[in-house]
């Protein structure tokens, strides 16, 4: 076994944390049924479900890559 210390991947850890925060914000919107309107267009809640799943999966993938 090698006793080399792993190099950190600070950008990957930061990206993972940011993606996790976005995932949490999407989940909060879904749970609280918060309305979002862009201009005069209402954004449906199901888009936040998709956003939460997508960013959650990406956060996990980037976190795992950072800890290889």
Model pLDDT for residues 26-48, shown as the tens digit of each residue: 999 999 999 999 999 999 999 99
Specify the 3-state DSSP secondary structure of 13.
helix
Instruction: Tell me the whole-structure pTM to 2 decimals.
Output: 0.83
Residue where the block lists tokens 């954004």: 43
> Who has greater pLDDT, 42 or 66?
42
Q: What distance in Å separates the CA atoms of residue 51 and residue 3, rounded to the nearest whole number?
A: 40
């Amino acid at each position: 076994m090698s006793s080399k210390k792993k190099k950190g991947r600070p950008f990957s850890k930061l990206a993972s944390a940011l993606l996790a925060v976005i995932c949490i914000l999407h989940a909060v919107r879904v749970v609280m049924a918060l309305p979002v309107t862009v201009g005069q267009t209402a954004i449906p809640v199901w888009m936040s479900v998709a956003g939460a799943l997508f960013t959650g999966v990406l956060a996990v993938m980037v976190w795992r890559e950072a800890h290889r």
